[in-house]
Copies of this chain bind each other. A is one copy, B any other.
Amino acid sequence: MTNHAKAFAALGDPTRRIVFERLAKRPMCVGRLANGLSVSRPAVSQHLKVLKDAGLVIDKEEGTRRIYRIDPRGVEAMRNYLDRFWDRALAAFKDAAEAEEET
């Protein structure tokens, strides 16, 4: 499984997207992340593992706390992936338009 494949699957889950968006606002430890979410702390840990494996977040130990933050490189990789298809899609649209004219 390539990395951006994992990334799309990771952001496909609503709860995980909320975690991701909260981390986008500010880096946070797991307990604080779990507060305000409707799921348990272990669930958050599991989601963080998936996000980390997808290259979307990184973590840093600080005493007993573990601070998670977004990894911009993961986000950029997804952006680049989408860019490829955006370009292709635009080209296809252009071809279709030209074919239409030839009719």
Contact = CB atoms under 8 A, between A and B. Distances in A.
A25 interface: yes
Contact of A92 (B24, B78, B88, B93): B24
Contact of A9 (B12, B72, B76, B79): B12
Contacts of A29: none
Q: How many copies does the complex hold?
A: 2
Given A9-B13, A70-B88, A72-B89, 11 more contacts: A1-B14, A8-B17, A21-B85, A27-B96, A69-B89, A70-B92, A71-B89, A72-B93, A75-B82, A75-B85, A79-B86
Interface of A: 1, 5, 8-14, 17, 20-21, 24-27, 69-72, 75-76, 78-79, 82-86, 88-90, 92-93, 96
